[in-house]
Amino acid sequence: MRTKKTSQKQQGRTGRESNLLLSRNVKVSYNTWLSKLGSLNCLVIGGTGEGKSRGFVKPNVYSLPVDPRDGKPVSFVFTDPKGELCHETAGFLEANGYEIRVLNINEQHFSDCYNPFRYIRSADSLLIMVDSVVENANGGKTPTDPHWSNSAKSLLNSICYGVYYEFAFKDQNFTTVSELLNMCGFSEGDEGYQSDYDIWLEHLAETSRMGEEHPAVVWRRKVSATGKEMSSIISTAQTAVRLFASKDVQRLTNVDTLAMDTIGDRPTAFYIIIPTTNSTYNFLISLLYTQLFESLYYRAQNVFDGSLPHHVTFFQDEYANVGKIPDFDKKISTFRSVNLSTCMIVQSPNQIETLYGKAAADIMDNVHQTVFIGSGGQGEKSATKWMSNALGMKTIQAEQTSVHRSKTVDLFGIDGSTVEHSYSATQRQLMTQDELYRLPPDRCIVMIKGQKPFLDYKMDPDDCLNFSSDLFTVQGKHGRELKPELLYPINDKDLEHPARKRTADSYRRGVEQSVEIDREQKERRRKDMEEDEKYDPVPKEPMEPEVKPIQEVLRPGEMGHYEPAGCHDGRRATVEELFDEEESGGK
């Protein structure tokens, strides 16, 4: 007797999408040359609980998009409040061939490390780094008197140039910058006073191949203040870098394991986990985005043929709450040329205007797709007001009825009353603010450049490619859920599934990688010297970074109470010493 072989049919669909998904029935191709849209930059507007992550970001991640021009997977950069996206998508992406990188500012013990000095390749990139740090010290607001911030920038430029040119990479960090800043001082009425930092610069001018033209020396000359004025400038600079005095922040930023410049080289998912209620670290996030854009542009234009091998899409949730990114209005206009795009996710577009002022108009001019998924605001600056204006007007036919009554009655008992109907064309808003406020929770509005607006349904991950498949998900109580083995633990709350990233491990790995970065910087300096020789001949030997402690170049009687952070015996803390408290606490 022949037995029939039975097998359980796998449900759902698997595959890869080649489009950016905007709603259930509306999508645009990643090939902008085919769609002729100009760019993939997108604005997503939605209030709290409207489904920005579930109804927009997750479907675009689970669909595993590829560039239709070459079939290469798209890389992602996420701003991730609370870490929800990382927990629910990183494991899935890793299982499908992606590298996972995490900067966890919310829980700083479970993170990769980010050192801003790793991404300095020229004098311009160093100036951009300092500008970003100082500008975001006051929340990105323009100071009423720019003298203090400009002078603080000059002082920090001097210190950062000194750190970059004179220290080995393992000491190139904002911890060292803070130490040198603490060496700056002032004296009332003593015009010949020299701080410990000034003494170090004198030594630098005498021993460096650049002499008096050393950038650290040149920028220090730009700050000619003395006395109380100098005190205020130092105070402004210290305010800008104040958070780097925290040991947790030092552990996070003294070395680098993110290698952000290679995100476009291979399929990569980079998660930036930020606090939802604390804006203290916004300057660090803003600095990271500034350097990330600069690094990707540099790599596209100098390593590759003007464009990154893998398209990089940014999903910037809570976009207006991560600090001001310098010159973002200029960067977004050229994203397409280097194979980048961004999806800015906000509760109201007016947040962008508040942060960027007049530059907000230029940013919005480079957004070619807008998705409105609902908002509860009804004020003059609410999202519904903005969206109502953006949708524009429509022409309607208005009917007017006039009744003229008469008191007379004819022979047949009919009065002389008449009714007149008139029709006229008039305009009204396509959707009023009130109508947008009452938009059903499962509906959204999509606007695409050159097209009339679409009223469509929001996306549901349960119906998307891959997430609907039994290969990756199971049926849960409230819909489909990722299989437990595909979840990505971001902390130690579940003891059976500990965090995949630990800052202590990242720090040790970063120290080991510092040797290779030193070689890269030495080669870069050699090329800089060759370029300099075309204009001003210099010694043939490449400049070696200064590795000896700063206090060795100071006069013993003028050292005062200076002591490097980390150790009380004048040494820089080792990796083991930096983590001694954490390790001893765990025993």
> From its phi and psi, is residue 436 left (phi > 0), alpha (psi between -120 and 50) or beta?
alpha
- Side-chain-side CA neighbours of 445 within 13 Å: the count stands at 22
Q: Which residue did the predictor score with more confidence, 553 or 49?
A: 49
Q: What is the pTM of this model?
A: 0.84
Buried b (16+ CB within 10 A) or exposed e, 395-409: eeeeeeeeeeeeeee
Q: How far is CA 186 from CA 56, 123, 159, 229, in A?
A: 55, 28, 16, 9
Q: Do residues 174 and 164 lie in contact, with contact meaning Cβ atoms separated by under 8 Å?
A: no
pLDDT of 338 > 60? The answer is yes
Which residues are CB-contacts of 581 (< 8 A; sequence separation ≥ 6)?
none
pLDDT in tens, 499-556: 989 999 999 999 988 888 888 888 887 887 777 777 765 555 555 555 444 545 444 4
Which of 62-66, 243-247, 371-375 ranks highest by mean pLDDT? 62-66
Q: Do residues 166 and 204 lie in contact, with contact meaning Cβ atoms separated by under 8 Å?
A: yes
pLDDT of 19 > 90? The answer is yes
Q: Do residues 109 and 273 lie in contact, with contact meaning Cβ atoms separated by under 8 Å?
A: no
- Side-chain-side CA neighbours of 189 within 13 Å: the count stands at 0
- Side-chain-side CA neighbours of 287 within 13 Å: the count stands at 28
Nearest to 100 by CA among 471, 430, 418, 489: 489
- Structural domains for the chain: 19-112+257-392+440-486 (3.40.50.300), 118-250+502-586 (no CATH), 394-429 (no CATH)
pLDDT in tens, 299-321: 999 999 899 999 999 999 988 87
Q: Do residues 276 and 285 lie in contact, with contact meaning Cβ atoms separated by under 8 Å?
A: no
What is the arithmetic mean of pLDDT over 135-151?
Answer: 74
SS3 content of the chain, % helix, strand, coil (to 5): 40, 15, 40
pLDDT of 586 > 90? The answer is no
Give the count of beta carbons closer than 10 Å to the beta carbon of residue 380.
9
pLDDT of 9 > 90? The answer is no
Nearest to 90 by CA among 103, 74, 101: 101
Q: Which residue did the predictor score with more confidence, 452 or 283?
A: 452
**Whole-angstrom Cα distance, residue 522 to residue 87?**
39
User: What pLDDT score does 160 carry?
Assistant: 94
**Whole-angstrom Cα distance, residue 499 to residue 86?**
12
Which residues are CB-contacts of 373 (< 8 A; sequence separation ≥ 6)?
44, 45, 46, 50, 51, 52, 55, 56, 444, 458
Confidence of residue 567 (pLDDT cuts 50, 70, 90): very low
Which residues are CB-contacts of 574 (< 8 A; sequence separation ≥ 6)?
none
Give the count of beta carbons closer than 10 Å to the beta carbon of residue 434.
10
Mean pLDDT of the chain: 84
- The DSSP code for 250 is H
pLDDT of 435 > 80? The answer is yes
User: What pLDDT score does 157 carry?
Assistant: 94
Q: How far is CA 35 from CA 68, 75, 336, in A?
A: 12, 20, 13
pLDDT of 155 > 90? The answer is yes
What is the arithmetic mean of pLDDT over 477-484?
Answer: 90
Whole-angstrom distance between the N-terminal and C-terminal Cα of the chain?
67
Residue 361, classed as helix, strand or coil, is helix
User: What pLDDT score does 7 carry?
Assistant: 39
Residue 169 has which token pair? Answer: 């990479």
Tell the burial category of 418 from Cβ atoms under 10 Å away from its Cβ (0-12, 13-18, 19+): exposed
pLDDT in tens, 437-455: 999 999 999 999 989 999 9
In 63-193, where does DSSP find H-type helix? 84-95, 123-135, 146-166, 174-182
Q: Do residues 290 and 325 lie in contact, with contact meaning Cβ atoms separated by under 8 Å?
A: yes
User: What pLDDT score does 5 carry?
Assistant: 41
Q: Are strands 312-316 and 393-404 parallel, antiparallel or unpaired?
A: unpaired
Nearest to 67 by CA among 33, 18, 16: 18
pLDDT of 158 > 50? The answer is yes
User: What pLDDT score does 411 carry?
Assistant: 62
Tell the burial category of 47 from Cβ atoms under 10 Å away from its Cβ (0-12, 13-18, 19+): middle
